[in-house]
Structure 1
Amino acid sequence: MESSETPAPSRTRHIALVAHDNRKSDLLDWVDYNSDVLRQHDLYATGTTGRILEDKLGLSINKLQSGPLGGDQQIGALITSGTIDFMIFFWDPLQQQPHDPDVKALLRIAVVWNIPIACNRTSADFIISSPLMNASYENKRPDYDTHLNRQVASEVAGEIEEGG
């Protein structure tokens, strides 16, 4: 006898959900369509987006600050700490945001730490339907030891001034 239920994931994923105002309805529709899968994972969202998803869909969301009030940076910190596995970020490419530098920084930090990012419904569909959603998978986080242990220009300049 076959079950029509979605198989339980081998590991709970930690998923960040972010959407600009003009894309919140798109994200709401996508999350609603995928709610059976998403309920099996830990969801994080910036403030307004998280509140809308909880109110409209009854999902349990770890709500952070609104994006412009620091929520983007909070998601970035969760990515840096290794908490977030992937991010669904429906951003508006046609509307300049007052917090565009924060948005760029969030996208950059996701790339720095090798986190998959979906910026539209098609890429989000590809990520959530991947066999890796229900398989054991370890993100190959980059090793930045060389970068962290490099000699910075000011240290080199100081050695030159000291005659070293």
Structure 2
Amino acid sequence: MNIALIAHDKKKNDLIQFVVAYKPIFEKHTLFATGTTGLKIHEATSLPITRFQSGPLGGDQEIGAMIAKNKMDMVIFFRDPLTAQPHEPDVSALIRLCDVYAVPLATNMGTAEILIRSLEQGDLDWRNLVRGKEGE
């Protein structure tokens, strides 16, 4: 499965700790991330990760494009709801695309844990069928 990992500045350490805790699961999948988040996750875990631009420079939109092409199976986006983000329209668009294309999305650690455990159990294998319909 293709998994996008994104975190606002004040949530990066939480996401890094989450990926470290679930590294045995993440290493079985293809990881993508926005710029600094991807670099920090790679440094902490040595997992291979495709990095896009940082969120404010278009990384959220790059991930959104993959969602629109049904090439992203899950998004884990640790948002900071208490800090204004200069690229909030991009964040909203990314969340909307997850809803439009039925891509599982976690915006906090509690939901991310449910998704990652579901992934481990095979509960998200239906995404393979969705991608299959798109010719992949």
TM-score by length of 2: 0.89
Hey, what does 2:40 align to over in structure 1?
Answer: 52
Question: Between Structure 1 and Structure 2, how many residues are aligned?
Answer: 129
Residue 132 of structure 1 deviates from its aligned partner by: 6.6
1:8 maps to which residue? none
Higher relative contact order structure (alpha carbons within 8 Å, sequence separation ≥ 6): 2
Q: Of the candidates 98, 101, 109, which is equivalent to residue 97 of structure 2?
A: 109
Q: What is the RMSD computed on CA atoms of the aligned residues?
A: 1.6
Change in 2 beyond 3 A, CA 1:39/1:120: same
Tell me which residue corresponds to 1:86: 74
Does residue 77 in structure 1 map to residue 65 in structure 2? yes
Cα separation, 1, equivalents of 2:88 and 2:69? 23
Q: 2:29 aligns with which of 32, 41, 44?
A: 41
Q: What is the deviation of 1:138?
A: 2.5
Name the TM-score, length of structure 1 as normaliser. 0.74
Shift of 1:30: 0.4
Cα offset for 1:86? 0.7
Structure 2 equivalent of residue 100 of structure 1? 88
- 1:75-107: per-residue Cα shift (whole Å, max 9, x none)? 000111111101000000000101111111111
Q: State the distance in 2 between where 1:130 and 1:136 align.
A: 6
Give 2:117's aligned residue: 129
Provide structure 1 residue ranges, at least 5 long, that are not aligned to the other structure.
1-12, 142-164
Quote the Cα distance in structure 2 between the aligned partners of 1:27 and 1:124: 10
Larger helix proportion of the pair: 2
Deviation at 1:55, TM superposition (A): 1.2
Q: 1:131 to 1:95 in 2, by over 3 A?
A: closer
State whether structure 2 residue 123 is matched by structure 1 residue 138: no
The percentage of counterpart residues that share the same residue type is: 43
Q: Deviations over 1:3-50 (max 9, x none)?
A: xxxxxxxxxx10000000000000001000000110010000001100
Q: Which has the larger radius of gyration?
A: 1
AA aligned opposite 2:69: S
